[in-house]
Amino acid sequence: MVDSRNWDWETGEKRVSLDSWKKKYQWVEEPYASPDGETVAAIVNVDEGEFTVCVNGDVWGETVFDKIWHLRFSPDGRLTALVSEMGEWTMAVDGAAWENKFGYIWEPRFSIDGTAIAAPVQQDMRYAMVLNGEPWEQTYANMTYFAMSPDGRHTAGAVQVEDVDSGEIHKFQKGSFTAALDGQPWDMRFVNVWNLALSPDGAHLAAEVRLNLYDYTIAVDGVPWESRYATVWEPVFNPVTGTVVAPVREKGMWRLTEDGKTLWDRRFVQIWHQMFSPDGSRLAAIVAPKYGRWTVAVDGEPWPSTFTQLVTDATFSPDGQRIAALAKDDETFRVVVDGSPWSDAWDMAWKPVFSPDGKDVAAKVEKKGQYTYTVNNRVWSGSCDAAWEPVFSPDGTQLMLRTIEAGNYVRRVVPVSIITG
């Protein structure tokens, strides 16, 4: 995790004018704020076919690129982007491009602490993963799903290892896909391989697999579970025991399994997005107890409140004792904490954030094109044109709000009590 203790948590405001950038450059794309709020950056066009990044009003290094996209800050505050030079693509970090270049690169992933960056790449119609600028030695004819270990030391992908022409149905049914860990493929072949999960230490890999036209299961380190199912969803590793948990469908209903054995006896119309508490002692998932009604189940027990459209972005508090999520009922969103929906409804809401001690919950919300924040079911008095997720101080008493107001980027630190009362 990123240590925010050295960030500036003094109450007050810092501003950067964004309107002045529009006068200086041909055009300015969407701005992004750093995790500590000290930096705001945007891709800018300086001339025809020439792009760079403006960082707090200054140009990003001396190099200009043919094209830049997917500008993002890593968790440790480095500024990254996918860049094109002379028709070749790579990753640039704080203005410096990786030495290796590719035909294409997309969907970068970051380790939890931000020190490692990985992405899928294509070169000469062959696919691989690249980690901190170094691609796998072995490449593949196709790669669909991919993953990175939480510690950033390992990467994986669902890869095609057998060439199959569009008309060679027998080859497809025999199996032409597998999973590769750090570029090394499993021995077993499957009809399809989907969502992947890496254990916290990166030593083990699990994936959804299709064994034939009708049977699905989970494979771990290339070995399928003995049980077969009508279908399965994405597996996750228990962060403590290393077991693998996945939703499976049997006889028209879904249940949770652990290493191929029943974990939750209760069955649901749908169950997915399962997640462990940080200490691995509790397990929650988004479920549909009946058709058209959604909620969260914790250790197999669903919340009493259900919602019509969806439940998403569920998250545990750091101590694992509480859960917050977003729910959409009809056309509006609500923040739901421990099964109780907050009173205000919004056109849009974003993933709730817990304070370090788990006592407070904050979320970015939007209504009629204006953004604000809600904390413990109380709404901040301000509003803005754009906003980023709120950030609690390490002691939980302060809240950092990063917003765009009247053409200015504003970094604001306020006491939590100002909002909660």
Handedness of CA 56, 57, 62, 67 (dihedral sign): positive
Q: Per the structure block, which two tokens stand in for 323?
A: 């859960």
- What percent of the chain is modeled with pLDDT above 70? 100
**Collapsed DSSP state (helix, strand, coil) of residue 215:** coil
Stretch 69-94: mean pLDDT: 96
Q: How many C-beta neighbours within 10 Å does residue 15 have?
A: 12
Q: Is the pLDDT of residue 173 over 80?
A: no
Residue range 367-387, pLDDT digits in tens: 999 999 999 999 999 999 999
52: confidence class by pLDDT, cuts 50, 70, 90: very high
- How many Cα atoms sit within 13 Å of 34 on the Cβ side? 19
Q: Is the dihedral of CA 311, 313, 317, 318 positive or negative?
A: positive
What lies within 8 Å, CB to CB, of 279 at 6+ separation is: 239, 240, 320
Return the pLDDT at 163.
80
Report yes or no: 191 and 212 within 8 Å, Cβ to Cβ: yes
More confident of the two residues 174 and 316: 316
DSSP strand pairing (50-55 vs 40-47): antiparallel
Mean pLDDT, residues 110-118 taken together: 96
Mean pLDDT confidence for 398-421: 97
Structure tokens at 96: 């410096």
Decide: helix, strand or coil at residue 417.
helix
Which range (11-20, 56-65, 131-140) has the least confidence? 56-65
Average pLDDT over residues 285-313: 97
pLDDT tens digits for 130-158?
999 999 999 999 999 999 999 999 999 99
Q: CA-CA distance, 253 to 268, in Å (whole number)?
A: 6
pLDDT of residue 169 exceeding 80: no
Tell the burial category of 252 from Cβ atoms under 10 Å away from its Cβ (0-12, 13-18, 19+).
Answer: exposed
Give this prediction's pTM.
0.94
For the chain, the average pLDDT equals 96
Identify the DSSP state of 202: S
In the block, residue with structure tokens 């407070």: 360
Instruction: Point out which residues pair with 65 in neighbouring strands.
Output: 51
Per the CB < 8 A criterion, the answer to whether 153 and 166 are in contact is no
Q: What is the b/e burial string over 95-107, where b = at least 16 CB atoms within 10 angstroms of the residue's CB?
A: bebbeebbeebee
Cα diameter, the chain: 67
Among the listed residues 202, 252, 197, 244, the one whose alpha carbon sits nearest the alpha carbon of residue 225: 244
Amino acid, res. 160? Q
State pLDDT tens for residues 204-223. 999 999 999 999 999 999 99
Please check the confidence at residue 404 and state whether its pLDDT lies above 80: yes
Instruction: Collect all residues with Cβ–Cβ distance below 8 Å to 161 and sequence separation of at least 6.
Output: 140, 141, 176, 177, 178, 185, 189
Mean pLDDT of the region 291-295: 97
